Amino acid sequence: MSTKAVLWRPMYDPEGHALLTENGIEPAVVDSPDADQVKAALGNANALWVRTPERVTAEVMDAGPGLVVISTSGFGTDNIDIPAATERGILVVNHLGFGRTPVAEHTVMLLLACLKQLTWGDRGARDGTAWSERQGLEVFELEGRTVGIVGLGYIGSELAKKLRLAFNCRVLAYDPYVDPRLVHASEVELCADLKDMLGQCDCLAMAAELTEETREIIGAEELAALPQGAVVVNAARGRLIDLDALQAALESGHIRGAGLDVVFPEPLPEDHPLLKNPKVVFTPHTAGVTKEASKALALSAAQQITTALKGEMPPYPVNPEVWDTPQSRRPG
């Protein structure tokens, strides 16, 4: 096999690059958000790997007439036009379950950071102001609190387990499409109505995929449905929460604090009010990129690309129906 894979941004771990090379696939890295550079590189490529938030549109795909497979850098596929890929006979693959542990851990960290006033404490301990202010500080325990989770897939169910077992939390979940086996395994209380769940939550954690149904699923009305002083964290997708509504709820004091690993757009404009809000804890979309997960994801992507270019079905296809259709670009 002698072929080329375009990597839109380097893979998270160089072992993915090495695995492609070992299988006779030349990795060509485009380390830029410029889609025109990617389109120029795709002219003689058979595979594309893309890191969120870069977007693979129909126009990008049309620049690669030899594209057989497109791989995400994780589980989410909202940055790839799946219908356009299917129409063009291009297989899309993602990577199931690799982020469940790191993202669940990160979400717990954000909850604790908000409840314990971590950023205030760090800043104040460094400049000396915390010592005189700490008597009036309100910090809280996660132990025994009611936490609502939006989305009970692999990450949501792992988060529920950690909250129950480590912190004795009451865990509620909202997910109209959840696998009943996950509900049973997670030992959570499944809520049929989102606002009913929100009204019972001390803390709200996002763990849903981004779809048309979940886009800004948490807006002004949903934030208002949370009890006074609730905490909101998001390590899933930035567009699950209306950030303007979140800023307003923080300013009013209705929401005590927020922890955000993801935002929209990424990064936020320098003048965005949330960046100046001391009630918000930020991390730069790093929840899923631990060393362990990064290696696993890179190897999974390289292996699935290799498998597809050999004419075999990879283990995690997003649009498997394309593989055996007349328009499929499947080799052979």
Structure token digits, residue 226: 């949370």
Instruction: Please report whether residue 330 resides in a domain.
Output: no
Instruction: Please report whether residue 204 resides in a domain.
Output: yes
* 173, 201: one domain: yes
- Domain of 307 in residue numbering reads as 3-96+291-322
pLDDT at site 1? 45
Beta-ladder partners of 55: none
Q: How many CB atoms lie within 10 A of CB 218?
A: 25
Instruction: Please report whether residue 37 resides in a domain.
Output: yes
* 195, 129: one domain: yes
Active-site residue set? 237, 266, 285
β-pair type (69-71, 146-150): unpaired
CB 108 within 8 A of CB 160: no
Give the model's confidence band at 132: pLDDT under 50 very low, under 70 low, under 90 confident, else very high.
Answer: confident
Q: State mean pLDDT over 89-99.
A: 94
Helices (H), the chain: 14-22, 35-41, 58-62, 82-87, 100-115, 118-127, 130-133, 154-167, 180-186, 194-198, 220-225, 243-252, 291-309
* 253, 295: one domain: no
Instruction: Please report whether residue 202 resides in a domain.
Output: yes
pLDDT in tens, 282-324: 999 999 999 999 999 999 999 999 999 999 999 999 999 999 9
Instruction: Please report whether residue 327 resides in a domain.
Output: no
* 85, 133: one domain: no
pLDDT in tens, 259-269: 999 999 999 99
pLDDT in tens, 173-194: 999 999 888 788 888 999 999 9
Give the model's confidence band at 81: pLDDT under 50 very low, under 70 low, under 90 confident, else very high.
Answer: very high
Residue 97 has pLDDT above 90, yes or no: no
How high does pLDDT run on average in the chain? Answer: 95
* 150, 198: one domain: yes
The CATH number of the domain holding residue 184 is 3.40.50.720
* 116, 220: one domain: yes
The domain total for the chain is 2
Predicted TM-score (pTM) above 0.85? yes
pLDDT in tens, 58-77: 999 999 999 999 999 999 89
Instruction: Please report whether residue 332 resides in a domain.
Output: no
